Amino acid sequence: MPITKEEQAKKQAAYYQANKERIKERDALRSAEIHKRQKVYRENNKEKIAENNKEWRDNNKDKMKTYKQDNKERDAKKMKEYAQTEGGRRTRMVADWNRRGLVPHEDTTLYDIYDNIYLPCTHCMVCNTEFPDSRDRCLDHDHSLNYDNIRQVICQNCNRNDNWRNKI
């Protein structure tokens, strides 16, 4: 009586579980051997490989232009998608603070400030208005102290008018 596919899959899974370490070692040795052979081949055939590469480039200039353009478009699309993620917004905000010269206190980073102060803050610390969007909040700092004295997270309006100074 022939073995069914399910029985064969169970046998293979059991064999793999019983011999997992041995299989990993075997695969690592095979991979190392392949890399050694490739390295020796490349060392012994540098001129031939360079000649073949040049010939391919000469014969496929139109493909290379298309390939470069496709990569450029793909990379731009990925960057745009990443910018819309929380990680992208975080990276952009910290880079902006860094460009402006914002220096955190000792033993902290700008990422710590973003994660522990800026992001959790949902209301202006002066007028108590809720932030409808993350772009509406500002990290207030003392400009006279070379940007290293971060005071509070405030709304755009309070930051523009400096009316928070009267409320302190």
Task: Look over the chain and give the mean of its residue pLDDT values, rounded to a whole number.
Answer: 84
Query: For 109-168, what is each residue's pLDDT tens digit?
Result: 888 888 888 888 888 888 888 887 766 777 766 555 554 566 678 887 777 776 555 555
As a 3-state breakdown, the chain gives helix, strand, coil percent values, each rounded to 5, of 70, 10, 25
Structural domain contains residue 59: no
Query: For 14-36, what is each residue's pLDDT tens digit?
Result: 999 999 999 999 999 999 999 99
Structural domain contains residue 19: no
How many distinct structural domains can be found in the chain?
1
Q: How many CB atoms lie within 10 A of CB 108?
A: 13
Report the pLDDT value the prediction gives residue 107, as an integer from 0 to 100.
Answer: 83
Residue 46: is its pLDDT beyond 80?
Answer: yes
Structural domain contains residue 31: no
